[in-house]
Every structure is written in C-alpha cells, then in structure tokens.
C-alpha cells in the first residue's frame, strides 16, 4: 500500500448514478424537470457492457474492468454440479474495485445505493449497498451506519411484487427509497471527509420497467401520476446538485446511467426457443421459472438471463454430453439460427457474440459461450417454464445497450461503462 502525502486541497469527484436513464428521454423529460434539464443539456451517451444488465454494468463501473476480469456476467450464477441458480453479488467480484485502489493511495470513498456491492466489505470510507440487498446489517460499512440508517427507517429497495397492477403502491415505495437515499446523503456527505462520492438513484429503472408506456405517452391514463413522481425524483437530483455546487474547488461531477431504456415490443424466451430447436430438455417440470435443476443430460444448450447461452459440454457440466470438438460448431449453428429469428417479420437480434471474443482472456466457469444482443424493444429472457417464445408479461420497458446518459463537467467521453471507472482512477492520478 502506498499512501499519498497531503499535497494540497482534495480533488473531489462526485458521481450521480441515474439507473436506466436514456439521454433521449432525459432531454424530453427535461422540459418539465429543471434539474434533469441542467444535466441533459450538456450530456452525451455511454454504451453498456454486455449483457446490458445492472449488475454487469455497475460492477464494470466500480472496477474499471469488464466481465472477463470482474467475473459478473448476469443476475444469476449456475452451479455446474447441481444446476442450482443463485443471485450474483459482491462476493463474485474477482478483481479490485476503484474504492480498493483509491484506498491503497490514502483516498477516501463513500457511496450510497451502489448495485452489486452486497454484502458489503471493508473499504477506506463508507458505503451502503444497493440492489440486490436484503439485510441492512450486511448492506453497510462501517457497521455503526446500520443503527443510524435504521433510525431513519432506511429502505433498501422498493417492493415491485405488484408490478404494473398497482401504480400507487409502486410510487409510494419509490418515494420511500428517494427519502432514504437523501437521508443517507445527509449522513455521509456533510463533513466532506471524502475524495470520491457516489450516489445512485435506481427509481427510474423500477418505474420504466412497469410504466415506460405511461411515461412516454402523454395521453396514457397514468402519465400525470408518473410525472408527479418524476418531479419528486427531480427534486432529489436537485438536492445532490446543490451539495455539489457548494463544494469548494477543485471539484468534478460525473452523471451516468448503466444502460438505456425503451418500450418493449415483446419478451423473447431463449430457453423456449432452444426447446423448439430440440436443443433443450427437462427431465421433470421446473418448480418455477428459475429452476434449472431438472436440466436433462440430453440437452445440448441452455440459456441464463437475459441472453447468455451455454453449450452443455461434458467437461464443464456434470450432466453435459457435448464433446469439446463439437461445441464450437454447435455454437455457430445456434448463433446463425438466432440471427434469422424474427417476430412479425422483424429481426430480433442485433448480434450474437462469441463469449471468447466478447470476454477475451476470461477463465471464469461462468463465461457464456454466446451472448445475444437484441434489437431495441426485444427483451430477452431465459425462463425455464414458458411455453411461448414471444409474449408480454407485465412489463412495458426494457434495457438498451446504447443511449445511456453520461455527463462530465471535465468533458470526458468514455465509450463503455468500464471506461468511467478508469476515468475516475485517472482523475486521482492512479494508473498502475
């Protein structure tokens, strides 16, 4: 560990995360939301890492690395012996974070609601983890924060179980999380004893998944309710921006989203498609949509969220039967057929990438053989119990690879999420 000597005022860097916010929508909404308008007026875009999911992209941000280095390829991980799935979390991150690297140089980081940092681990600073956090005691560092946040009735996550069936219930929950993030901001910001500060608002992602149609169409019956909530959200942005404005120089602000968003045309279940192609079979009925434990040894391939395809190789999975010498040819056939897949005459896929090409040098057992990149509006799924390839299941918005908002008061133009992490390191002159 090398500690930097105090050579002058802190070069503070503040990062505002706006989960799932596309620049084009931000510019439209900015006409009615002044704080968002301030950001969107000087913003550009950044490209999501593939797959375009929050755990993959926020992890790429806070490590400054791609999945081939940090080891997070999706929401879930499959045990190759038992075929059981579990949710990816911070324990799966296999390389140092930017907070680790700043700490090695004597710099202090603080963050609030940062996805895929649960369960929290020690850092030089303070942190409150974000999605998927379940237990407040494991979601904070240092431990004394638990009592202070509990006293403030801090909510880790809004309840989205009612989905699109109850907008008022969802918005009430999202307002609770907005209040919680601001309460944490009041605790962690004021002493200015930090060099890097990250606050992530995830409310846009939750709202857009279930009510994207209501947000983008002024004639939708729920449009005004959504806009009233977004006005509250904009006030929360303003609270953060006001704190940034009051910082002494030198200072820098980054605003970013982890992926874009658009209206859904249809969900596309890849496991159902693989079944139709005779490549996937279950020996018994799955217990639920995530159950892969009944995967048959006769299966040649299967998918995990949202578009990761794995060849069922005998040297990789306990019940696998595909020989190594046949795996590459099979993957190429699957990729070619998926590129020909259409829905109502429209191609579904923008590209089907080889995992080896997309994640060069990866040695993780979780590295997919193929990664599907859908065209905008096609929401890829990997359910084990669906009968239909295409259909809508309660969501009206889905992620996009391109279009995520990005703004830097110093004018940088990162290409991918990992580049934002590298930008932070370079700001603090950390290059090794």
Predicted local distance difference test score (pLDDT) of residue 254: 99
d(CA 30, CA 236): 14
Q: Which two tokens stand for residue 432?
A: 């090794």
pLDDT (mean) for 396-414: 98
First-to-final CA distance of the chain: 12
d(CA 112, CA 185): 8
Q: Please indicate, yes or no, whether residues 157 and 38 belong to a single structural domain of this protein.
A: yes
> Is the separation of the CB atoms in 205 and 255 below 8 Å?
no
Q: Please indicate, yes or no, whether residues 134 and 50 belong to a single structural domain of this protein.
A: yes
Q: How confident is the model at residue 376 (pLDDT cuts 50, 70, 90)?
A: very high
Predicted local distance difference test score (pLDDT) of residue 162: 87
Question: By C-alpha distance, which of 35, 34, 40 is closest to 21?
Answer: 40
pLDDT (mean) for 122-131: 98
The domain in which residue 78 lies consists of 12-263+399-427
> Is the separation of the CB atoms in 116 and 59 below 8 Å?
yes
93-110 pLDDT tens trace: 999 999 999 999 999 999
Which H or E element spans position 421?
Answer: helix 417-427
Does the structure show a pLDDT above 70 at 404? Answer: yes
Does 432 reside within a domain?
no
Distances (CA, A) of 231 to 210, 224, 234, 237, 409: 18, 10, 5, 10, 24
Predicted local distance difference test score (pLDDT) of residue 164: 86
Does the structure show a pLDDT above 70 at 6? Answer: no
Q: How confident is the model at residue 206 (pLDDT cuts 50, 70, 90)?
A: very high
Does 422 reside within a domain?
yes
Does the structure show a pLDDT above 90 at 163? Answer: no
Q: What is the CATH number of the domain that holds 102?
A: 3.40.720.10
pLDDT (mean) for 178-196: 98
Q: How confident is the model at residue 2 (pLDDT cuts 50, 70, 90)?
A: very low
Query: Mean pLDDT for the chain?
Result: 97
Query: What 3-state DSSP class applies to 137?
Result: helix
Q: How many domains does the chain have?
A: 2
52-108 pLDDT tens trace: 999 999 999 999 999 999 999 999 999 999 999 999 999 999 999 999 999 999 999
Does 6 reside within a domain?
no
Predicted local distance difference test score (pLDDT) of residue 7: 56
Does 1 reside within a domain?
no
Q: Above pLDDT 90, what percent of the chain?
A: 96
Which of 2-6, 13-17, 34-38, 274-278 shows the lowest per-residue confidence on average (mean pLDDT)? 2-6
> Is the separation of the CB atoms in 59 and 93 below 8 Å?
yes
Question: By C-alpha distance, which of 131, 126, 88 is closest to 110?
Answer: 126
Q: How confident is the model at residue 432 (pLDDT cuts 50, 70, 90)?
A: confident
Does 4 reside within a domain?
no
Q: Please indicate, yes or no, whether residues 234 and 359 belong to a single structural domain of this protein.
A: no
Q: Please indicate, yes or no, whether residues 163 and 189 belong to a single structural domain of this protein.
A: yes
């Amino acid at each position: 560990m090398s500690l930097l000597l105090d050579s002058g005022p802190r070069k503070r860097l503040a990062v505002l995360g706006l989960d799932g916010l596309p620049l084009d929508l931000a510019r439209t909404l900015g006409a009615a939301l002044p704080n968002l308008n301030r950001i969107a007026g000087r913003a550009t875009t950044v490209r999501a890492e593939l797959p375009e999911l929050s755990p993959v992209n926020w992890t790429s941000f806070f490590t400054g690395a791609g999945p081939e280095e940090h080891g997070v390829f999706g929401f879930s991980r499959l045990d190759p012996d038992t075929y059981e799935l579990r949710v990816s979390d911070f324990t799966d991150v296999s390389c140092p974070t930017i907070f680790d690297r700043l700490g090695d140089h004597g710099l202090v980081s603080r963050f609030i609601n940062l996805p895929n940092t649960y369960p929290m681990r020690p850092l030089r600073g303070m942190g409150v983890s974000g999605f998927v956090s379940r237990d407040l005691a494991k979601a904070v560092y240092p431990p004394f924060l638990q009592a202070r946040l509990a006293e403030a009735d801090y909510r880790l996550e809004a309840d989205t179980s009612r989905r699109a069936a109850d907008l008022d219930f969802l918005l009430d929950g999202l307002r609770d999380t907005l209040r919680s993030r601001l309460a944490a901001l009041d605790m962690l910001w004021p002493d200015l004893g930090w060099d890097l500060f990250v606050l992530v608002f995830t409310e846009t992602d939750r709202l857009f998944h279930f009510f994207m149609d209501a947000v983008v169409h002024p004639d939708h019956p729920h449009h005004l309710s959504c806009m009233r909530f977004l006005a509250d959200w904009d006030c929360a942005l303003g609270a953060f921006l006001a704190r940034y404005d009051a910082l002494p120089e030198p200072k820098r602000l980054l605003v970013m989203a982890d992926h874009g968003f658009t209206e859904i045309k249809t969900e596309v279940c890849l496991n159902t498609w693989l079944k139709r192609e005779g490549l996937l079979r279950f020996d018994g009925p799955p217990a639920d949509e995530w159950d892969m434990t009944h995967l048959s040894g006769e299966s040649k391939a299967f998918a995990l969220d949202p578009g990761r395809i794995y060849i069922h190789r005998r040297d990789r999975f306990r019940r696998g039967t595909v020989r190594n010498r046949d795996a590459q040819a099979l993957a190429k056939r699957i990729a070619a057929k998926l590129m020909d897949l259409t829905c109502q005459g429209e191609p579904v896929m923008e590209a089907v990438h080889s995992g080896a090409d997309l994640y060069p040098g990866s040695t993780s057992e979780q590295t997919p053989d193929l990664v599907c990149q859908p065209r905008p509006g096609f929401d890829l799924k990997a359910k084990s119990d669906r009968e239909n390839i295409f259909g809508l299941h309660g969501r009206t918005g889905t992620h996009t690879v391109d279009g995520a908002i990005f703004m830097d008061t110093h004018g940088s133009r990162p290409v991918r999420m990992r580049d934002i992490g590298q930008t932070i390191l370079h700001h603090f002159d950390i290059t090794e």
